[in-house]
Structure 1
Amino acid sequence: MRLKSSLWVGAYLRRCQVNGVFAAVRRRGAEEAGAIFVKLALMDGNAILFSPAPQTEYDDSRPIERFFSQSRTTPEPAIEERLRKEIGFDPDVWIVEVEDKEGRHFLDLVVER
């Protein structure tokens, strides 16, 4: 059983705060299992989007872990358009926005194969 999305988001916000990075929930999704998207604003008009990794990347013996796929650095309007499409497809998604010029995100990423 995986950790509830709401608990994971709360812990993630705290992790960012402890490291001096601003993060906030822009959209609350389903408490139990809403997909989580993280937008990292680089403060120069560009951003990186972190999307949930495919389910094949998860190990049921470690329910606290969440893995993400990272997009390329992209102008923020393109990221916003992608998020609008995600909301249209799945209204239960969470959107967390992080702002950091250094690009720190504290997420576990899938390794590209």
Structure 2
Amino acid sequence: MRLKSAIWVSAFLRRCTVEGIYGAILRKGAEEAGAVHVIVNHLDNTCHLFGPAPGGAHDDAGERRWIAEMTPPQTPADAMALLERRLRFDPDLWIVEVEDRKGMAGLTAIA
């Protein structure tokens, strides 16, 4: 079963809070099926940017699949610039940012 984007984002941020990771919604997209992009800010002026995997954005179990669209040494400003360009074509996307010095906030990208 696929979760609506709004529910997934809420659950993701709640899980991050429980793990001591600060996160916030920078931009709300379509409640039901907006594409979710997550910036993992490492607090050293580098970040990872995760976006929906091409093709099927969900696996057979309904879990979201991710690709790493940006990896360090890219900065959060670089990630936001890319997402601002994407907003011109997809105004329904979500932008979430979390701060995780040591990891990727539990997200893993497919190869």
Unaligned runs of 5+ in 2: none
Percent identity for Structure 1 against Structure 2: 43
Q: Residue 16 of structure 1: SS of its match in structure 2?
A: helix
TM-score (norm 1): 0.87
1:9 paired residue number? 9
1:72 aligned partner: 71
Aligned length: 109
CA distance in 2, matches of 1:94, 1:76: 16
RMSD of the TM alignment (CA)?
A: 1.5
Which residues of structure 1 form unaligned runs of 5+? none
> Scaled by the length of structure 2, what TM-score is found?
0.89
Partners of 1:58 and 1:33 lie apart in 2 by: 12
Residue-by-residue CA offset, 1:63-100 (whole Å, 9 max, x unaligned): 2x101111221122211110101111101000000012
Higher helix share: 1
Counterpart residue type for residue 55 of structure 1: G
Letter in 2 for 1:62: A
Match of 1:18 in 2: 18
